[in-house]
Structure 1
Amino acid sequence: MSRLFNPGEVIVRREILDGREWIVYPVQVAADDGVTLAAYLHRGTRLTFGGGDFRWGVHPWAAFDPHWQSDGVLQLQRAGDAYSVWARWSDGEFEGWYVNFQEPLRRTGRGFDTLDQELDLWIPGDGSPYRWKDVDEFEERERSGGFTAQEAAGVRAAAREVEALIASGDCWWEAWRDWTPPVEWTVPAPVALEGAEAGTAA
């Protein structure tokens, strides 16, 4: 296993598509015990997009300001899970949990790699019912061949797993509800692509 990352360390989150970097950005480590990696994406963080042709096209965020515009989010991912859970705030108030279905994290020397798999789930922080997001987009990507049958089945299996956790009350991410970033943390410097030609949104 790659080394554990230290609290406060800035690491790199990469989404790898077609064997190349699709989107890359720095996050700051809140905790890492080898099972759960908690990393904070600061508001204002520069996002870097891979250039060239991808089977899914250019990253959808590349058409906008290449900085994370929302309040900062805490990204929680566990080894082997095909999803991460993002704690979301608005004006300093906790809003809820955004479940991002993605490839299981793969640790690297400078951070970790994954790939967003379109489907998302929103769990409001006030206890109201959860709701699915981007279902049509996920199904269209499957229909058009953007996912293999095995990949699509894996996303659905992960979705059932998260639904079962919610139903049982075994929501491991709730342990992070009251976390706040240290006041001394600042927006990390942008990171460059390691591989092919870099491209950033104008």
Structure 2
Amino acid sequence: MESFEEGQTVVRRDVHRTGRVWSEHALRVVADTSEALVAACSPGAEARWPALYARALAEGDRSVRTEAFDAMATGVWGLTDAVWQETELLLWKQPTAWFSVNAFYVPDGDGRRLRNWYVNFEHPTRRTADGFDTFDLTVDLVVDPGLSRWEWKDEDEYAHVRRLGIVTDSEHQAVDAARDQVLAMITERSGPFADAAAWASWRWNPAWPAPRLPRPAAAGESGAPAAG
């Protein structure tokens, strides 16, 4: 499959092993090379999330997130339209990696500043005509802007999805290997961390409108990739 063009809208989808779509998120391409796809979004970007997950965000109730995972285990859930808010996001994803590196930016005076790095552990990507498919494996690593401190996030939810069988033993082994890989990248300042200063100064291109999803999707729409 050909590379995506700079500024092109792409859709990141989390697709369950049943082929049902768990979430969709519209992004714009910053760069697409043999090493990695770099994409971004700004406040106003369109998304679709599981209805229970959206409710958990609205109510600030993590127990509802647990209900969302329970629904995932049954294979039955609904999606709801959502809008990305507050932060700008810059995402780095190698096609075969079991993680993506994300940078979040927040308002700071008249500009923006890097709030934190966020490593999301997830499936390797499968390219589609609209973007790429992956699947979030729940556990994350939050890293401070200077790369000097980090902490694991959502370990309790990761244990829960392991008990539910959402994350299999082989996926768990891949996550464990990816954890070591990411910590080595931070220590060695490799991957996106090799040019951390440039990432810290990155800003959303004001000529780009907030990305929109290309078409409506029914809840649980099949997530079969195109090709590549």
TM-score, shorter chain, exceeding 0.5 = yes
**Structure 2 equivalent of residue 172 of structure 1:** 192
**Structure 1 equivalent of residue 143 of structure 2:** 123
- Size of the alignment, in residue pairs? 193
User: In structure 1, the residue corresponding to 2:181 is in which secondary structure?
Assistant: helix
| 2:121 is the alignment partner of 1:101 | yes
Deviation string 1:94-115 (CA, Å, 9 cap, x unpaired) is: 1121000110111112110001
Q: Out of 84, 105, 113, which is 1:68 matched to?
A: 84
| 2:153 is the alignment partner of 1:133 | yes
**Structure 2 equivalent of residue 82 of structure 1:** 98
**Runs ≥4 residues deviating over 6 A:** none
Name stretches of at least 5 consecutive residues in structure 2 with no aligned partner.
52-70, 222-228
Q: Residues 189 and 167 from structure 1, CA distance in 2 versus in 1: closer, same or farther, beyond 3 angstroms?
A: closer
Give TM-score scaled by structure 1 length.
0.85
| 2:147 is the alignment partner of 1:148 | no
Within 5 Å, give how 1:15-94 maps onto structure 2. 15-17=14-16, 18-49=18-49, 54-55=72-73, 58=77, 66-91=82-107, 92-94=112-114
Deviation string 1:123-144 (CA, Å, 9 cap, x unpaired) is: 1003431111011111121123
| 2:174 is the alignment partner of 1:158 | no
Deviation string 1:43-73 (CA, Å, 9 cap, x unpaired) is: 122212479x6426648x95xx821123120
Q: Name the % identity.
A: 30
Q: Residues 171 and 49 from structure 1, CA distance in 2 versus in 1: closer, same or farther, beyond 3 angstroms?
A: closer
Report the more deviating stretch, 153-162 or 126-135.
126-135
Q: Residues 122 and 197 from structure 1, CA distance in 2 versus in 1: closer, same or farther, beyond 3 angstroms?
A: closer
Deviation string 1:132-176 (CA, Å, 9 cap, x unpaired) is: 101111112112322111111111111111112223333534423
- The CA RMSD measured in Å over matched residues stands at 2.4
On the 8 A contact 2:113/2:200 being kept in 1, the answer is no
On the 8 A contact 2:44/2:84 being kept in 1, the answer is yes
On the 8 A contact 1:37/1:77 being kept in 2, the answer is yes
